[in-house]
Each structure stands twice: as structure tokens, then as C-alpha cells.
Structure 1
Amino acid sequence: MMDYHALTRTRADRPQAIAEAAAARIRRPWPDHGRPLFLVAADHPARGSLGVRDRPMAMAGRADLLDRLRVALARPGVDGVLGTPDILEDLLLLDALEDRLAIGSMNRGGLAGTAFELDDRFTAYDAATIAAMRFDGGKMLCRIDPDDRDTAATLQACAHAVSTLAAHRTVALVEPLWVSRVDGRVQVDPRPEAVVRGVSIGQALGTTSAYTWLKLPAIDDMDRVMAATTLPVLLLGGDPVERPDAVYARWERALRLPGVRGLVVGRALLYPPDDDVAAAVDRAAALLPAAT
């Protein structure tokens, strides 16, 4: 594990170094001509979601998380990272975002396990800051619960974010998930009908869908989901408690479908059962040519 004391000193003594690093960063072009996209997600801690499988505080150690992210970002085939300001700014100061895409996570206010979990307020990046930092997109979680009134406010906030990102000609990565509370816990509905319903709502948010991409779960009936949209889709990582072989097989099947343009994976790759981050990332990257 690297000693990050110098990073802490820079944050304390030269906070302007973050903006300087963002201005000087070498950017990676957004993939085109059908080349698949591979992003590593690191925005779970901002919602208080620190657990992975049987390790309830797995993501609590920032130095360990940064070590894992740097390993992942250095692997062939990885295009960039999705994270909150604290994460992306640490990576900027570590020069870990050179020639990598940086996607800012926007709404992190619906804290995991709370009574207000579905009040997904925008507490992190906004579109103006994403543009000013020369980042490559903004991601928003759009959980839809027909029994929770907070869903209406989330839909409105996400629509505004999509519109403002588009005004900056910046990608809006929308994650529309149909959910419900079961024994007080928010759970995603994985049925094809529910995923399609979420897609239908999420793709219509904002004044234009020109810059909208969708981030969707890879379910067994993914062909039915993809038939519901013409927008480009990235597959989300899935529940890290599943067996890795089952998760990789589902990604591989989904990546063959037209419109599926790559992966956004976090805990499943950053905290694999054997803690071999490089091997887990390489195994996922090997699936991506199937998307071309």
C-alpha cells in the first residue's frame, strides 16, 4: 500500500492543485466506431455503502481503495473511472487520470439504509462543475418506487441534470432502476418488465436525449430490455455477493447485443473474493471485444 501522506499535505497546503491538475490532464477521447467502453465505478462510499460480501467496511479505507483503483486504471482495456469529487480529486492529484475518462457522480443524497434513501438529492457534482473540470460525463442514479413520493423529486432533478449536461455537450449516464421496499430495505426489481419500465422512463428525461447513455443491470432476458431503447447502454456491475462465474457469464451474453456498449463495474472488480484486482479487471476486459 502506498504512503498517501503527501496527498494529504497537498490537500491541506495547496487546494488549488486540484483545479490545476484538472486543467492539465490529458483527456482520452470518448470511444467511437463501436469500440466498447470499460469504466470502474467508485461512488458507493458517498452513499454509505461500504460493504462487499462478508466485509461490512471493505471500502472504508481510503488508501486501500485508491491502491485498488490505481491498479484497475492501469490495466489494458480500462477507459476510466466514475466517482464522486473526493475520489476523482484524489486520483487527479495522483496523476491517475491521465489519458483516462472521468465521469462525475452527481446524486448521492439517498444514503443506503436510511428512511430517506429514495430521496436521491444531487449532493455531489453538478453539470457546470463537470464541464469546468474538463470531465467527460455525469452519472445519476434514478430509482423509481411507485409507492414513494420522493421519486417525483428524483425524476425532476435527473431531468434537469440531463438537460444541463446536454447544454455542455456532455454525456449524461442515467441509471434508471425500478425499486420497492421489502422489509424496509430498498431492492431493485430484476424482472424484465420492471427493467423495461425503468428504461422507458429514464430515456425520456430532460429536454433532449442526444447525450444520454443508460446504465442498466445485466439480466437474463437482456434482449427484451435492449428492444426498449435506441440509446447506448453500459452494463452495471451487479451484486458482488453473486458467484463471479455467473456474473461474468451474464455480462458476456449481454455484451453481444446491439446497443450494449460496455461495462461500468465497481465493487465486483475492486474487491474480488481473492483480492486480485488486476486479474478480475483483466477477465472482465477480455469480454469486451464481443461488443464490437
Structure 2
Amino acid sequence: MTTLSITDLTRVRATRPEAIREAAAARRRRPLLSENGRLLVIAADHPARGALGAGDDALAMANRYDLLERLCIALARPGVDGVLGTSDVLDDLLLLGALEDKVVIGSMNRGGLAGAQFELDDRFTGHRAADIEQLRFDGGKLLLRLDYTDPGSLETMCGAAQAVNDLAERGLMAMVEPFLSRRVNGKVRNDLSAEAVTRSIAIAAGLGGTSAYTWLKVPVVDEIERIGPVMETTTLPTVLLGGEVAADQDATFAQWGKALRLPNVQGLVVGRSLLYPPDGDVASAVDTAVRLL
């Protein structure tokens, strides 16, 4: 754990903002995949979209110091490969020295704020490909939610394709998280049926001028017995997303374990389920995820 406090971070940011670039330039890097060919990434890109809740606590992720402490615990556990976050979170972790020998993925599009009327208009307001390259990060993540009844979804697709191209030109991973979505009683809902996930994978896999650097980030669908056909939609390397904090953590882990046996599933990208487990034990939750891999 770092000895820096939140006050130290604020002081450094106020007096030496260049320290972030210096930390990025000096950071020790590592290959994308570990020796076992797996990838476990901790996700912390929720706050910038106004999604602060975890479990029953609607503001669980609002305390930045608490979030950073949980992230540092998770990143220090053996078997954790890296982190996915927005610029503010990753800058803090750089200053804390928590990203040494870790895979770092920048979150690119956070414009579709949770609960907003424009939620599905998730424009690219986060990291640019140029930022990711300059900071010596390993890739960029983009959320791609498509509503067949919303003409604006075409612009969302075009933005995603451009991001895939920009990252590929730099030899950087593009981690695409696709969903078919729709509004139900005014709220955006992702369709997690096997058919919808299959279609979203097919659409995302074909974005951009090359898929050489494209990875997919997909949910574990409810119909576990149909996951095989779903994942046969593409040959692209795929990671599973963790989703919401579940009351029955053991059932969630069992579900992940089954999906991880599929040949093109390379690992997990999990945030709140590991950072805010029901029993509060971050280290134990992370260790369980590591064992699944």
C-alpha cells in the first residue's frame, strides 16, 4: 500500500501537475497477457459516467480516497494484471505508484451519463488514442450501446469505428463492450438475451478498417448452456464483464467459472463485484477471481 494520502495527491496535482506525465514515462510495463495467457483487469471507470452505486449503496464509489484504497488492495494481489479507468482515476494511480508492471486501459467514451436523456449518445469524452499512446498505456475501452429505434446509434457506431482505427494505427488494444439496448419506461436497459448478445458481438467485431487489435468485453448471459454458440460468433479474444454487485457472490463466481472454459475467453474485467463485495473483503473477492483463471 502507498503511504500517500488524498491530501498528498491534491498537493502534488496543484503544485506539480507534470508529475503525472513523469510517472507515466517512468512506469514499468509488461506484456498484455500473463504467462498463463489470461487477463484479470479491475474496472474503475464508473464514476465519470455518474454511476456511483454498488450494491445497496447509491454513493459507494463517491468517496475517491476509499475507491483508491480498494483499488490499491486489488492491484497488489497476486494474479491481478491491470486496471481500466478514466483519466482522473488512472492519474491518481500513477502518482501512487500502483500501476507498475500492470496493464493499463484508458476509458474513452463516458459522455452517456447514467440516467440522462442523452445516455445512449455516449460520445468520446474520455481518453483519446493519442493520450493512451503518450501515457504509454496498453489500450482503450469503448462502450457501444445500440438502440435500433434511435437514429443516433449510427453516429455512435461511426465514433466507435474511428476509435478502433485510431488505436489500431498505434498498435494498441481496442476493448469494445457492445450491447443492444432500448428504453423501458424511460430508462436504458441492455438486452442480455443470448440472441441480443450474439448480434452485438457480430456488430462490434466488424468495426473499423482492421480487427487485428480488437478485443471484446461481453456479459455472461443467463442461458449458460447457450454461451458456447454465443461465443462462437467471433474469433476475437474476449473478456467477461463482471456486472452489478450480486448478493449471492458464490453463484456469480460459479457462472464466471463456466464461461471462462470457452476457448476464446481470455479473462475477466470486473469492477464493483470485486471492489465492493457484500462482505467488504476486497482481497478475498479478488483472490477468488484469480483462482477462477
TM-score normalised by structure 2 residue count: 0.96
Moved more, 28-37 or 97-106: 28-37
1:237 is matched with which residue: 239, 242, 246?
242
Partner of 2:179: 177
Cα distance in 2 for residues equivalent to 1:32 and 1:13: 37
The SS at the match of 1:140 is strand
Q: Which runs of 5+ in 1 are unaligned?
A: none
What amino acid sits opposite 2:196 in the alignment?
A: A
Partner of 1:47: 49
Match status 1:264 vs 2:278: no
Identity %: 58
Cα distance in 1 for residues equivalent to 2:208 and 2:35: 26
Match status 1:227 vs 2:226: no
Cα distance in 2 for residues equivalent to 1:242 and 1:217: 18
Please list, as runs of the form range in 1=range in 2, the aligned pairs for 1:200-219 lying within 5 A after superposition. Answer: 200-219=202-221
Q: Which runs of 5+ in 2 are unaligned?
A: none
Cα distance in 1 for residues equivalent to 2:186 and 2:247: 22
Cα distance in 2 for residues equivalent to 1:196 and 1:107: 23
The SS at the match of 1:248 is helix
Cα distance in 2 for residues equivalent to 1:33 and 1:59: 32
> 1:241 offset after TM fit, Å?
3.6
Partner of 1:250: 255
Cα distance in 2 for residues equivalent to 1:183 and 1:240: 23
Question: Size of the alignment, in residue pairs?
Answer: 288
Cα distance in 2 for residues equivalent to 1:225 and 1:67: 37
Partner of 1:139: 141
RMSD: 1.2
Cα distance in 1 for residues equivalent to 2:153 and 2:188: 13
* Conserved 8 A contact 2:4-2:96: no
The SS at the match of 2:273 is helix
**Large movers: runs of 4+ above 3 Å:** none
Q: 1:21-47 CA distances to partner (integer Å, 9 max, x unpaired)?
A: 000000021116761100000000010
Q: 1:92-136 CA distances to partner (integer Å, 9 max, x unpaired)?
A: 000000011110000000000010000010001010110011000
* Conserved 8 A contact 2:54-2:244: no
What amino acid sits opposite 1:28 in the alignment?
A: R
* Conserved 8 A contact 2:245-2:278: no
Cα distance in 2 for residues equivalent to 1:252 and 1:244: 12
Cα distance in 2 for residues equivalent to 1:122 and 1:239: 24
Q: 1:165-212 CA distances to partner (integer Å, 9 max, x unpaired)?
A: 000000000001111111111111111110010001001011100000
Please list, as runs of the form range in 1=range in 2, the aligned pairs for 1:40-189 lying within 5 A after superposition. Answer: 40-189=42-191
What amino acid sits opposite 2:128 in the alignment?
A: D
Cα distance in 1 for residues equivalent to 2:244 and 2:275: 13
Partner of 2:29: 27
